Structures are given as C-alpha cells and as structure tokens.
A = this chain, B = another copy of it.
Amino acid sequence: METLSENRCFGGKQGVYRHASEACRCDMTFGLFLPEEAEDGPVPVLWYLSGLTCTHENAMVKAGAQQWAAEHGIALVFPDTSPRGADVADHEMYNLGQGAGFYVNATEAPWAANFRMWDYIAEELPRVLFNGFALDEERQAISGHSMGGHGALTIAMAYPGRFASVSAFAPITHPSQSDWARKPIHAYLGEGNVDWVRHDACLSLRENGFNGPMLIDQGTCDQFIDSLMPEALAAAITETRHPAIFRMQGGYDHSYFFVSTFMEDHVAFHAEALYR
C-alpha cells in the first residue's frame, strides 16, 4: 500500500492511499480520515460511498465531514466509485463505466474483468483497512450519496450485524424501477440476471429489513428526484412499519451544498449508534 498524501486535519489526519486491488484487478485509491483518538487505539469507522462521477476525493474535500467526525472521534472512509485506468473498460455515458460502478459485481463483458465494486467495498477494502489502521471492526456504520446511498443501503442490509446504523443523502432507492440505474445495472449483470433484492434498497428493506437506525435526507428541489424515487423508499419504510427517519428537505438540490448542510446530523446520528 502506497501513501499518496497525509494532512493534519481537525486534530487528526486525512490520508489518501493506493493499493493493488484483487477484486478490481487494478490499483484503487481511497481516502481515510483518522481522528486524534486513533493514536491511542482503534476508533469506530463511518463508511461514505460516493455517487456517480465521483472519485475518493469529492466527499473528502466538499462534504465537510471531518469536523464532525473529529468531534465524535470517528474515522471516515472515502472509497472510489469504480475501478479506473487505461486498461479498464469505460463508456461515454456518465452512468456506466469508470466513476459509475453501482456497487455490484459485474458478470457481463466488457465489465466483468474489473467492475467488482460490491466485493471491493464489502470484502477487500475492509481487510485492507482493519489490517492497516487503528479501526474498530466491531463498530462500523455506513452512509452514502446518490449512487453511494444505494450502495450504503443495499450493502448494509446484505450484511446483518456489520453496520450499527445506515444513512443516505438523496439515495437511488429503487433501481429496478428507474431507468437511470436499471440500464447500467443491466449492462453490468445482464438483463434478467439481476438479483434485485440484493441491489434494490426498497426490495431489500421489504425482504431483509435492517436491524438498526436509518436516516434518509432528500432535497425537494433535487434535479434527479424522479429517478431517485424517494416515494418508493418512504413506502417501503412505512408499509413495513420499519424504524427510520425520512426527511424531505425543502429547497435543497442534489449537490454537495445539500450533503454538507446535513452532514453534521448524519455523523451525530451514526455516533449515537456507534457509541451505544
């Protein structure tokens, strides 16, 4: 593993690291914020999965999350959103290929060679992190934005007991019913082959539930709201009588100005679950 940068940040350290990924068969880069408390021993960790077109860097520099993580003594992981490189397949659409991994393990050509973001996030990167840094594997929480909200929700529900809490900013909630996400997932997994319970937060919630606190924020003026389908997740939550906080935030759009506004709430929400 190679250290690309390390900067003092809110009393702790914001690092960027690169490692050879077995899952993605290419080098992968991630950001990791460690609060000051990590100098004395393992700290809880909050995963943040990013959205379409993002790298490990967007949330790391624009979400304002480190100040709140430092306040609560929590580490933050900012993974990339896809495999990358000249040898990695890509597509002219921004919602397919590099920057658009959708947190699935591709089975279809040309994507199957590298696009295994589910395994990368759920299996490989945890080993890298818990072997390499002062992080407490027993205290994990997960969040994400847009495509990353989809990833956070689906992965949290697929691994019962791993994450103390889950949250999402403007998540893709119901990709089986939304072209924006269904088309790329069909490209990765093959139309007709998709295990939608695994890869659709609404279906997974109805089938598997989630045993922990859940917080969703959605801007009412989000330019992608019709594709995100907040109404589908609200229906899944309320019809199954599932505990959750669902907030429709008036006037906010899909940007990091929205994410950063409510980041304090999300980190405090996860801190409460992680320190219970």
With contacts A225-B241, A241-B225 taken as known, whether A246 is within 8 angstroms of B220 at the C-beta atoms is no
Min C-beta distance of A77 to chain B, whole Å: 27
Distance, CA A218 to CA B239, complexed state (A): 12
Distance, CA A248 to CA B237, complexed state (A): 8
Interface magnitude class on chain A:
20 to 34
Min C-beta distance of A83 to chain B, whole Å: 34
State whether the Cβ of A247 lies closer than 8 Å to any Cβ in chain B: yes
With contacts A245-B245, A246-B246, A250-B243 taken as known, whether A230 is within 8 angstroms of B238 at the C-beta atoms is yes
State whether the Cβ of A231 lies closer than 8 Å to any Cβ in chain B: yes
Distance, CA A3 to CA B230, complexed state (A): 50
Min C-beta distance of A261 to chain B, whole Å: 13
CB-CB contacts of A229-242 with B at 8 A, as 1s and 0s?
A: 01100110111011
Contact B248 A243 (CB under 8 A): yes
B-binding residues in A (CB < 8 A): 213, 218, 220-221, 225, 230-231, 234-235, 237-239, 241-251
Other A-B pairs, 5, CB within 8 Å; known A220-B243, A243-B250: A231-B235, A234-B235, A238-B246, A244-B248, A245-B246
Which 3 pairs of residues, A with B, have the shortest CB-CB distance? Answer: A243-B250, A231-B238, A234-B234
